[in-house]
């Protein structure tokens, strides 16, 4: 648009003509926005607000009288406030390159002054302190011309051909070299130790490898030997099993033969012996029974004979009473008693005769026979005698 002007972000627009600016300045300052400017009646100029650089190379003498060549770089710019812009505009608007020249000169003077109050050792070892002191001493002067310093860097310090800095650094260089040599020796020693450790590890690995190989070879040999022995061992085991089976078979055959012998010889012999014993016992029992039966028959015959003779015996006894004088007190009863006495006497005589014939005592026992055995024998004989209706003499 005609008459409307806008400054760049890193510029300040200075409008001269018309009314004065802030603080009686001959121009107005516009930053960050545009403004209408009447042509012909107003004049517009732009002042840079960007960063500028100034390099300073100066020969300075230290407190010790040693000349040092110092090279420094200053980073500066116009201040952002209206006062700094006005101050810088009034001084550098027509030739803004002079800002770097003037700044370098200002810092060169302050740098010489500060280095002249310091020793070489302080300058070399305390560069940051040197830069801070230069900034502090130049701050007020830079502010008057509308400039602010962002940083000051001391890039190099050189004593030329005097060799002071080299001499000053010689102990440090020697210490550093010594430390470097020590470090090198330690590194060499460490390398040697590492190499020895690696050699030992390699030797140990080789030993372990040899041991493993030997163990593997021994295991292979054992396996081969075992495999070679497997056939004979298997054959021997098979033969042993055959012998064991044959032994068991022979034992079973012997046991079976023994059972057969027992069944064929012993059992029949035992059965035959038992049969003979039973037959002998039966024969003995038969003979005993026959003997007892014969004895019983003889006795029955004897008893029958005695019984047959009993009337005659009683008759003879009664005949003995024929010439005797007998008084009968009880009549018929007395006669009966006399008759009964005669019969009893006859029976007594009959029993005495029978015992004398059979060899028995008065109780019916044989000589040497106990009373219980005699009674048992009499009872058995009575049971064996057939009941034919005849009266037993016993």
How far apart (Å, rounded) are the C-alpha atoms in residues 13 and 33? 9
Residue 238 neighbours by CB under 8 Å, 6+ apart? none
What is the average pLDDT score of the chain?
Answer: 77
pTM for the full model? 0.42
How far apart (Å, rounded) are the C-alpha atoms in residues 92 and 77? 12
- Judge whether residue 93 has pLDDT over 90: no
How far apart (Å, rounded) are the C-alpha atoms in residues 274 and 281? 10
Highest mean pLDDT of the ranges 1-15, 215-229, 284-298? 215-229
And the tokens for 78? 């116009």
**The CATH number of domain 4-168, selected from 3.90.1150.10, 3.10.20.30, 3.90.1170.40, 3.30.479.30:** 3.30.479.30
How far apart (Å, rounded) are the C-alpha atoms in residues 63 and 362? 184
How far apart (Å, rounded) are the C-alpha atoms in residues 284 and 377? 17
209-261 pLDDT tens trace: 999 989 888 888 888 888 887 777 778 888 888 888 888 888 888 888 888 87
Residue with the larger pLDDT of the pair 215 and 292: 215
Helix, strand, coil share (%) of the chain residues, nearest 5 = 65, 15, 20
List the one residue out of 159, 75, 63, 162 whose CA is nearest residue 112.
63
Confidence of residue 393 (pLDDT cuts 50, 70, 90): very low
**Of 16-30, 152-166, 207-221, 300-314, which gets the smallest average pLDDT?**
300-314
φ/ψ of 369, rounded to 5, equals -95, 140
Average pLDDT over residues 317-336: 52
- Judge whether residue 73 has pLDDT over 90: yes
Q: What ranges do the domains of the chain cover?
A: 4-168
pLDDT at position 76, please?
92
Average pLDDT over residues 154-177: 82
Residue with the larger pLDDT of the pair 365 and 254: 254
Average pLDDT over residues 66-83: 90
Residue 354 neighbours by CB under 8 Å, 6+ apart? 299, 302, 303, 306, 393
What percentage of the chain exceeds 90 in pLDDT? 8
């Amino acid at each position: 648009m005609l008459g409307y002007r806008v400054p760049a972000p890193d510029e300040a627009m200075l409008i001269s003509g018309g009314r004065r600016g802030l603080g009686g300045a001959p121009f107005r300052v516009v930053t960050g926005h545009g403004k209408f400017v009447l042509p012909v009646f107003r004049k517009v100029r732009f002042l840079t607000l960007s960063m500028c650089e100034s390099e300073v190379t100066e020969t300075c003498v230290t407190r010790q009288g040693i000349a040092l060549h110092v090279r420094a770089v200053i980073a500066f710019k116009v201040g952002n406030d209206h006062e700094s812009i006005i101050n810088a505009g009034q001084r550098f608007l027509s030739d803004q390159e002079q800002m770097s020249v003037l700044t370098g000169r200002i810092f060169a003077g302050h740098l010489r002054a500060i280095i002249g109050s310091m020793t070489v050792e302080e300058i070399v070892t305390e560069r940051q302190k040197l830069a801070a002191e230069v900034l502090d001493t130049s701050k007020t002067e830079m502010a008057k011309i509308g400039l602010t310093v962002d940083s000051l860097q001391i890039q190099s310090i050189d004593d030329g051909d005097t060799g002071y800095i080299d001499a000053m650094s010689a102990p440090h260089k020697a210490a550093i070299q010594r430390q470097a040599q020590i470090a090198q020796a330690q590194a060499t020693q460490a390398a040697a130790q590492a190499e020895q450790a690696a050699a030992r590890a390699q030797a140990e690995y080789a030993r372990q490898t040899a041991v493993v190989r030997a163990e593997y070879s021994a295991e292979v040999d054992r396996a081969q030997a075992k495999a070679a022995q497997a056939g004979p061992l298997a054959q021997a085991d098979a033969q042993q099993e055959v012998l064991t089976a044959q032994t068991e078979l022979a034992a079973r055959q012997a046991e079976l033969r023994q059972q057969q012998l027992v069944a064929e010889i012993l059992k029949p012999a035992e059965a035959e012996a038992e049969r003979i014993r039973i037959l002998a016992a039966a024969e003995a029992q038969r003979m005993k029974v026959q003997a007892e039966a014969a004895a019983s028959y003889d006795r029955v015959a004897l008893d029958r004979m005695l019984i047959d003779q009993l009337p005659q015996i009683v008759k003879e006894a009664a005949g003995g009473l024929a010439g005797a004088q007998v008084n009968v007190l009880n009549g018929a009863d007395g006669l009966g008693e006399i008759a009964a006495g005669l019969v009893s006497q006859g029976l007594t005589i009959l029993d005495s005769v029978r015992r004398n014939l059979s060899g028995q005592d008065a109780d019916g026992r044989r000589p040497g026979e106990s009373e219980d055995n005699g009674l048992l024998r009499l009872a058995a004989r009575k049971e064996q005698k057939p009941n034919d209706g005849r009266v037993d003499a016993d």
